[in-house]
Structure 1
Amino acid sequence: MAIKQIQFRQVISLSHPINPRIPLWPGDPPVEFEEVASLETDGYFLRRFSMGEHSATHMNAPNSFYTDGIGIERYTPEDLVRPAVVIDVRDKTQGHSDYEIGLLDIEDWERKHGQIEPGSVVLMYTGWQHLWNDPVAFFAQDAQGSHFPGIGEAAIGFLIEHRQIAGVGIDTHGVDFGQSSTFATNHAVLAGNGIVLECLTHLDRLPAKGVTLVIGLLGLEGGSGSPASVMAFIP
């Protein structure tokens, strides 16, 4: 087996801290902490916590959309170490919360930075990470549902078929845009046991290419997803 090395000068966490105030998908269970032991009484501090499998910075598993899909614990360690690129679409999403990232966005990026390499995770920086502390603005819900940008069907089809990517990530609460009723991007990526990362942060601190992602998961047996500790190694 060939020896692989990660060379880096900086490591940046792309995960939000978890607390009961984070934005939650409508209908998802709350984030709750309960003290089990205290320093004063027990000599050590311990809490139990409860939250949904798709809350905070998290990764989706195929069984969240496919009845015969694998659970989150079935991803191998090798699956979770990937090169990544960052596509900045903030100029398109400002004032357009229902924006669907399309082929033109990918073509614009590749003109500047070269072709996306097979096996990469493509991260979309929409600017929504900056709304994280305002759950109302993060989802922008109204009578039609939630409003936030996501990856369009044509774009994800191109990335999978013609660039053989390993997966996608985004700083919104869904790789599918908020008004989607089909979740086409999730379906397309997870059909091949790919990586879907949502609610990322600090994408503004990453270069457009050259990053290596290391994704830490909870090995929840049969899990439809897991909160994720996503580390970006910057050369």
Structure 2
Amino acid sequence: MTTYDLSQSLDAEGTTYPGDPAVSVTPHATHESDGYRVTELALGSHSGTHVDAPSHLLPDGRNLDEVGLSTFAFDAVRIDCTDHGAREPIGRDAVAAAPTDADLLVVRTGWSEHWGTNRYLDHPYLSSDAAVWLAEQGFHVGVDTPNVDPTPRQEPTTERTDEPEGFPAHRALLGSDCLLVENLRNLGAPPDRFELCAYPLPIPDADGAPARAVARVDEP
């Protein structure tokens, strides 16, 4: 069994969605002062590599603690969308090329290399048609970006006028009870088919939670 770490580091240097709580990792107790070490963490439920629950956008959607634990060990298939540029939609044709016998579709854009920079917010995103097709197939979705929809920029540079408003991809997928795993990294390391384990922290009534995402591959 070979494993690949697909998780972003959960620290203050990473990117957070605009308006979300910042991540803070600070000493609470130290060996020198207290004889032991404890670290204080402050973060949002969608910090770092994380899983979105349907309740993230839907008032009547399921929370993460209502999802069976075995669900988070996904049979994943990857598609390569590294040819898509900044703020470019990923269309239905791109995602429909994937085999439909998997649990989760992983969309590799390569955008994780911009983690910790403003450029990370200019990622490609799923078109509404692509998200609807994925929802119809019952796919959970994983991305190496902060969002399956376009992420708003605080300081716009080159504006696109054709970006959808709101969260249509989120609504199509979460509305079909599909889970989202966002802020993945290292998606070029495993093969096209692998087991993606992304177990979220056991936060009660969670609309989302950070997760340690790991690819597992049975090697001959």
Q: TM-score range by the shorter chain?
A: 0.7 to 0.9
Q: Which of 203, 215, 218 lines up with 1:232 in the alignment?
A: 215
Q: Is the 8 A contact 2:78 2:106 kept in 1?
A: yes
SS at match of 1:73: helix
Q: Give the aligned partner of residue 4 of structure 1.
A: none
Matches of residues 56-135 of structure 1 in structure 2 within 5 Å?
A: 56-91=48-83, 93=84, 96-107=85-96, 109-110=97-98, 115-118=99-102, 120-133=103-116, 135=117
Matches of residues 126-205 of structure 1 in structure 2 within 5 Å?
A: 126-133=109-116, 135-139=117-121, 147-161=122-136, 163-165=137-139, 167-178=140-151, 179-205=163-189
TM-score by length of 1: 0.82
Q: Which of 29, 32, 49 lines up with 2:21 in the alignment?
A: 29
SS at match of 1:129: helix
Aligned residues: 207
SS at match of 1:90: coil
Larger helix proportion of the pair:
1
Q: Is the 8 A contact 2:29 2:39 kept in 1?
A: yes
CA distance change for structure 1 residues 188 and 199 in 2, over 3 Å: closer, same or farther? same
SS at match of 2:206: coil
* CA deviation map 1:67-124 (0-9, x unaligned): 1122222221111111001111111x1xx312111122134x44xxxx3215x21011
CA distance in 1, matches of 2:71, 2:95: 24
* Structure 2 residue 6 is matched with structure 1 residue 14: yes
CA distance in 2, matches of 1:180, 1:174: 13
Q: Is the 8 A contact 1:86 1:206 kept in 2?
A: no
Q: Is the 8 A contact 2:54 2:61 kept in 1?
A: yes
Q: Give the aligned partner of residue 5 of structure 1.
A: none
- Structure 2: gaps of 5 or more residues: 152-162
* CA deviation map 1:132-153 (0-9, x unaligned): 14x21112xxxxxxx3211111
Q: Is the 8 A contact 1:73 1:218 kept in 2?
A: no
SS at match of 2:149: coil
SS at match of 2:71: helix
Share of identical aligned residues, percent? Answer: 27
Q: Give the aligned partner of residue 195 of structure 2.
A: 212
Report how far residue 14 of structure 1 moved.
0.9
CA distance in 2, matches of 1:154, 1:66: 20
CA distance change for structure 1 residues 33 and 164 in 2, over 3 Å: closer, same or farther? closer
- Across the aligned residues of Structure 1 and Structure 2, the Cα RMSD in angstroms comes to 1.6
